[in-house]
């Protein structure tokens, strides 16, 4: 019996990956940004509610993603230079860290400032923490910085995938694309020099 090497992530892993990317980008775009007074202006309610809803969805999705990774089988890693493997693991670790840190700093910052999380449809999650406005402001500033950092790191991640696809021609990018998008003949990528 011939053993076939798995060349793609499964549909669930792909869906979680791309949905996470879309939610992070949408949360960044709809982030109200600015001072506390600007963020909590009545005119910014929809943007803030959408941003907070998207942020909680990212947090939930990253938990689901980590749980899924525990049971899912993944493709064999493509052989690369040691430094590339280390860089890939560092980037992946950094992205996971930021996927947790960005929403958690926002939640803690808002609650410490005394603001509830307000989701779409007006659902509010009251602050369970004691109020420490100065600490909340510091966390909100960290959240903003981390939000920028995750976009930069995700951009480098995308560039690395494109480098693998167009320069190394090794199938790394294709392994995360749904089969209806990916080229049918993956062997040409696996066997390329």
pLDDT at 190 over 70: no
Domain carrying residue 18: 11-190
Q: Which two tokens stand for residue 183?
A: 């080229």
* pLDDT interval class at 193 (50, 70, 90): very low
Does 98 map to a domain? yes
- What is the token pair recorded at 178? 């749904």
What is the residue-averaged pLDDT of the chain?
89
- The three-state secondary structure class of 8 is coil
List strand residue ranges (DSSP E) for the chain, in order.
Answer: 117-118, 124-125
Note whether residue 141 is domain-resident: yes
Residue 4, in any domain of the structure: no
pLDDT of residue 54: 97
CATH number at residue 42: 1.20.950
> Could you tell me if residue 124 is inside a domain?
yes
pTM: 0.88
Identify whether 19 is part of a domain: yes
Per-residue pLDDT tens digits for 154-181:
999 999 999 998 999 888 898 898 877 7
Structurally, the chain folds into a number of domains equal to 1
Residue 117 within any structural domain of the chain? yes
Whether the predicted pLDDT of 67 surpasses 60 = yes
Q: Does residue 5 lie within any of the structural domains?
A: no
């Amino acid at each position: 019996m011939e053993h076939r090497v798995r060349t793609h992530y499964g549909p669930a892993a792909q869906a979680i990956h791309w949905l996470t990317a879309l939610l992070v980008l949408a949360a960044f775009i709809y982030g109200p940004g600015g001072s506390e007074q600007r963020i909590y202006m009545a005119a910014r309610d929809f943007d803030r509610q959408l941003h907070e809803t998207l942020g909680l969805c990212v947090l939930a999705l990253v938990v689901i993603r980590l749980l899924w990774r525990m049971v899912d089988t993944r493709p064999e890693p493509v052989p690369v230079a040691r430094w590339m493997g280390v860089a890939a693991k560092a980037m992946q670790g950094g992205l996971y860290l930021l996927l947790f840190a960005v929403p958690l700093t926002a939640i803690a910052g808002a609650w410490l400032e005394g603001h509830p999380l307000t989701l779409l449809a007006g659902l509010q999650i009251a602050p369970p923490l004691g109020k420490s406005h100065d600490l909340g402001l510091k966390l909100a500033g960290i959240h903003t910085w981390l939000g920028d950092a995750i976009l930069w790191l995700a951009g480098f991640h995308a560039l690395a995938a494109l480098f693998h696809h167009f320069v190394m021609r090794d199938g790394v990018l294709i392994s995360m694309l749904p089969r209806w998008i990916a080229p049918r003949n993956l062997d040409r990528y696996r066997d390329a020099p």
